[in-house]
Structure 1
Amino acid sequence: MMEFKYNDKTSATLLSVPLILCFFDYPEELTGFARETVKGETNINRSVPNQYGTRFTDTSTLEFALIKEDQTEFTDDEQRKVNKWLTSPKLPKWLEFHNSDGTTTIYRGTFTDVRWKLVGGIIGVVCLFECDSPYAWKSYEEHFTASGNHTIYVDSDETEEYVYPVMTVKTETTTDIVIKNLTDNENTMKIHTYAKLPMTFDCKLCIPTDATTNGIISYKDLGWEDVGNIYWLRLLPGENVIQITGDADVRITYRCPQKKAGGFLC
């Protein structure tokens, strides 16, 4: 049975009876990859416009239905639980489909429509999820426990964009470690760590946190003095060679674009 996770709850455990994904009306086509060029104007002196790249003009939308596994009607309390779950978030969240073959397909967006099917009583709910990107995502995790060179292969379908990971570092003693991406012009993060204190670095948002009560860690605590010249680990599409110097437990998680039409539908 396929299930999905959204807003920290799953379709299998939200109610006392698991919810099953289904379709009352199957889609005839899947959209999301339309693009337009971004360019300047032409004039008498410029017959060929300046080109600034492309941008997506459409994003993926997912429409599917949920029914109870025992095919009974939804009670008022169950309707409220489903509506609360799907329509409470105001900002985009991750939607994870756990497929029957063991793989996971991830989207990011918001449920913008929740409609209830009536056949005598309420038998199902039709959900419309609008993604904030044209494509699905896939999660990866790498775990390194020794110094040396480690290879990460980034299977991204956006070949001209960096992938920014979330990295957690832990050491047994207070020390300095160095993390260098040899593939990315040997750019380097040098981190002053503290004994048995996990530190997490969100390299996309440029936010460092630790496992203390308030979670706040300053650049000075990390040994970073030149704040105008800080490198945050980034991964290139394809093979990356990450060099770790120092005894540290390093966990790197990241998500890559997966340009497949419909994701869980296909």
Structure 2
Amino acid sequence: MAIFGSSFTYNGKSSDDFGVIICASEQPESIPMGLTREILKGEITSRRPVSNWYNTKYSDVLTFEVTITKPENRAFSREEVRDINAWLTGPRTPTLLFFEDEAFDPINYYGVFTDVTNVYGSGILMLTYTFTADSPYGWSNEREFAYNNLENCLLAVNDKNVSVNNKNVEVTIQNAELFEVNNDTDEIGDFTYPLIAIYSYAGTQITIDNYSEISTNDLLSHSLTLTIPNAIDYTNPLYIDSKNHKIYYYSNTKKKNIPVQLSDLGFTSDNLTNLDNGSLELYWVRLVPGVNKFKITGGCSIKMTFRCPRKVGAY
């Protein structure tokens, strides 16, 4: 299970770097799951004996404890306690935590350590840290699906796992007519919003149609069409952050992300007016649970990156 893995990595550093091992001071009675939900419903009255159910929400985020000790039950020195506390309590915003646990599929968590206690004998023998995630569950390894229809830039076709920036990224590359993206999320009633990188040339019109989301003949409600702006070339992609509703590119000279206006993406003044008054919707590309089939029109290479929810708590 995750909290009893061989080691863990947080904020880019491994517990192995500090010479500690994961342990438990006592056998846990249960493993935190973090899936308690509340029902959002209307009132019950004499004329309405059955309440209206609107939705559900998670009651809180996932929290669990991680206990570490030194080999052979040796006590921690004061300097070691300082170094470990500085490492684990340093981040103030959600930071990636994952455990090395070969017996199970990898689970990743984002959060901060919010408390620390200890077991004292002939010195501090164990340190127990409370981890508070930013969500009620963990996440899969990062998934990257790549597609290309540029004849002069065909991608190598293979399925493999690679290591990028110390993160395991599961990569699938396709050159087929339809771009297939597998979203094996545990949130089977919700969409997943990927980060999309489009590699193309200025002036190229790109259309992304999600055929798997079409429930009517209205293709426009599941289609995004844009024109690559002049600031973009094949080595500098246009990013679409569907989750946070952002479109931008990275400036190598300014060393930061530069927002792109819809008017720079080929949207006419009529389009912008209709977006403002609600008669036209901007489709932010999203993934339904299961296999998504996209039709990509226009010369480009596309990468979709995302993580899938994993409802296993700290197991």
SS of the aligned residue for 2:213 comes to coil
Structure number with higher strand proportion: 1
- AA in 2 matched with 1:188: S
Per the normalisation by structure 1, the TM-score is 0.85
Q: Distance in 2 between matches of 1:6 and 1:223?
A: 42
For residues 213 and 71 of structure 2, the distance between their equivalents in structure 1, rounded to whole angstroms, comes to 50
Q: 2:11 aligns with which of 4, 7, 10?
A: 7
Q: Is the 8 A contact 1:98 1:105 kept in 2?
A: no
For normalisation by structure 2, the TM-score amounts to: 0.73
- Residue matched to 1:238: 290
* Kept after mapping to 1: 8 A contact 2:208/2:295: yes
What SS is found at the alignment partner of 1:204? coil
Equivalent residue number for residue 164 of structure 2: none
Q: Aligned runs of 1:106-255 on 2, under 5 Å?
A: 106-139=108-141, 140-146=143-149, 148-171=177-200, 174-185=203-214, 186=219, 187-193=222-228, 194-195=232-233, 196-212=235-251, 213=254, 214-219=256-261, 220-225=263-268, 226-227=271-272, 228=275, 229-255=281-307
Change (3 A) 1:210 1:38: same
CA distance 1:26–1:108, shift in 2 (3 Å): farther
Where structure 1 has 5 or more consecutive residues not aligned to the other structure, the ranges are none
1:30 aligns with 2:31: yes
In 2, Cα distance between equivalents of 1:69 and 1:176: 60
| Amino-acid identity (%) | 31
SS at match of 2:47: coil
How many residues matched? 260
Q: Mind listing any 5+ residue stretches in structure 2 that lack a counterpart?
A: 150-174, 276-280
Structure in which a larger fraction of residues adopt helix: 2
| Matched residue SS, 1:260 | coil
Q: In structure 2, do the counterparts of structure 1 residues 27 and 170 end up closer, same or farther at CA, with 3 Å as the change threshold?
A: same
Give, in whole Å, the separation in 1 of the partners of 2:237 and 2:314.
38
Of 50, 59, 62, the match for 1:60? 62
Q: Deviation per CA, 1:183-233, whole angstroms, max 9, x where unpaired?
A: 122412223332121222221111222121232132233334435232111
Return closer, same or farther for 1:20/1:224 CA change in 2, 3 Å cut-off: farther
The letter of the residue matching 1:144 is Y
The alignment partner of 2:259 has SS state of coil
Contact 2:249/2:260, CA 8 A, preserved across alignment: no
The worse-fitting range, judged by mean Cα deviation, of 117-126 and 46-55 is 117-126
- 1:46-85, aligned counterparts within 5 Å? 46-68=48-70, 72-85=74-87
Q: Deviations over 1:216-252 (max 9, x none)?
A: 1322333344352321110001121022222322111
Deviation string, structure 1 residues 27-77 (Cα, Å, up to 9, x no partner): 211342222322111223222211112222344322121234576543333
Change (3 A) 1:252 1:239: same
State the secondary structure of the residue aligned to 1:89.
Answer: coil
